[in-house]
Amino acid sequence: MTENSSDFLPVPGVRLGTTCAGIKQPDHRDLVVIELAAATQTVAVFTQNAFCAAPVIIARQHLAEVMPRFLLINTGYANAGTGDRGLENARQCCKALASQIGCRMEEVLPFSTGVIAEPLPVDTITRALPDAVEQLQAMGWSDAAWGIMTTDTRPKLVSRTVGIEGSQITITGMAKGAGMIRPDMATLLAFITTNAQVAPGTLQDCLHDAVAQSFNRISIDGDTSTNDACVLCATGQSDVEVSASGVTNDAFRQGLTEVCTELAKGIVRDGEGATKLINVQVNGGRNTAECLAVAYTIAHSPLVKTAFFAADPNWGRILAAVGRAGITELDITAINIFLDEVCIVRKGERDTAYTEAQGQTVMDRNEITVQIDLDRGTDSANVWTCDFSYDYVRINAEYRT
């Protein structure tokens, strides 16, 4: 199932409630509470931005002390760059929910997204909490996916069923993000749940690998948010136990990675002002690191991205990006470059069979794969990005207004 699907699958042991708190805009879904059944195992990865937001700091602290029973998410204000006041505001919101529910403050993990450096309106949030709690339901995913959005134009919601040794588990997740996206996780937020039984160490390992292949392989504008977080919760309410290795582990990892990848690609498709999804695929590297270096140099290039927006087959910009990616001893006479099925560069120079019309046909498509063959090893890597349009500048120029 893909994002925006109304056929999402609820996860036993998870309930979601969403309300319009009026945090930044009236009549706008902007506050979400997620309830997790007792004994749910929860792990997370967070932004590596040194200027991480107050909710990231508090969520890390709480998660280190006790397994959470509730996740609290607000949009409108990121509560980043707010100092000690921001930390206290995040704690106050956790306390308010804990007091209402009857749990420890540490059993609440806070998450925020929106404008940086503005104080969190604690009173506004706490007044709306009773309604969010009253709305808690297993089928609350769709409203919640809308409720965590900021500049997103559509929700990202994905479900999978995974067959494991004759039984089935469910993995359902949602994500938000459209700008300030070049995750380095371990303003992207992702919340993924499953009813499988998974020990915390194994769950963390699976999440780390899935994020490395999905959320950490996307770039919209090359900016790493102060608030990035990806949370994985396993309620254990199925009879499937995922082991630390072996068949059950392999099947769960694959299903989790598929969900994360679909959510990540949904974020890129919904990039601020984006009109194209670009898959940058680098093959034949000596190691994954140099493949990623090439892929990210292309994905971050404003000249490459604007050429894709214009549907202009100016592939010299791609060639230049490969050359400045910092790969040592790069033999340019070994490099081949393709736009989808069209070879534009063979052995380091324009392919003799290439025509501008062929390039134009590919550039007019909404989804394009740029394939670079380095021919110096066996490793490969993928990065997903999008084009830069006029709307990207407009959206970010007007963001605070």
Cβ neighbours, 10 Å, residue 77: 25
Tokens of 165: 């040794």
Confidence of residue 270 (pLDDT cuts 50, 70, 90): confident
Superfamily of domain 277-397: ArgJ beta chain, C-terminal domain (3.10.20.340)
Domain residue limits, the chain: 14-269, 277-397
Please answer whether residues 207 and 43 qualify as being in contact, where contact means their C-beta atoms are separated by less than 8 angstroms: yes
How confident is the model at residue 17, as a pLDDT? 98
Q: Is 139 exposed, middle or buried (0-12, 13-18, 19+ CB in 10 A)?
A: exposed
Q: Which two tokens stand for residue 18?
A: 């969403």
Known active-site residue 113: no
Catalytic residue among 47, 170, 187, 224: 187
| Residue 231 host element (H or E) | strand 229-234
pLDDT of residue 281: 98
Mean pLDDT, residues 342-370 taken together: 96
For 6-21, the pLDDT digits (tens) are 568 999 999 999 999 9
Measured from the Cβ of residue 101, the count of other Cβ atoms closer than 10 Å reads 17
- Give the residue-averaged pLDDT of 139-146: 97
pLDDT confidence of 227, banded at 50, 70, 90?
Answer: confident
The dotted CATH code for 14-269 is: 3.60.70.12
Dump pLDDT digits (tens) for 165-200. Answer: 999 999 999 999 866 556 564 458 999 999 999 999
Which pLDDT score is estimated for 399?
Answer: 64
Report residue 1's pLDDT band, with 50, 70 and 90 as the boundaries.
Answer: very low
Q: Give me the amino acid identity at 23.
A: I
Residue 394: how many other CB atoms lie within 10 Å: 12
Q: Does the pLDDT at position 365 exceed 50? A: yes
Residues 129, 125: Cα–Cα separation, whole Å: 6
- Which two tokens mark 302? 């404003």
Query: Mean pLDDT of all residues in the chain?
Result: 92
- The whole-number average pLDDT for the span 387-395 is 79
Residue 222: per-residue pLDDT:
63
> Could you give the CA distance from residue 211 to residue 290 in angstroms, rounded to a whole number?
19
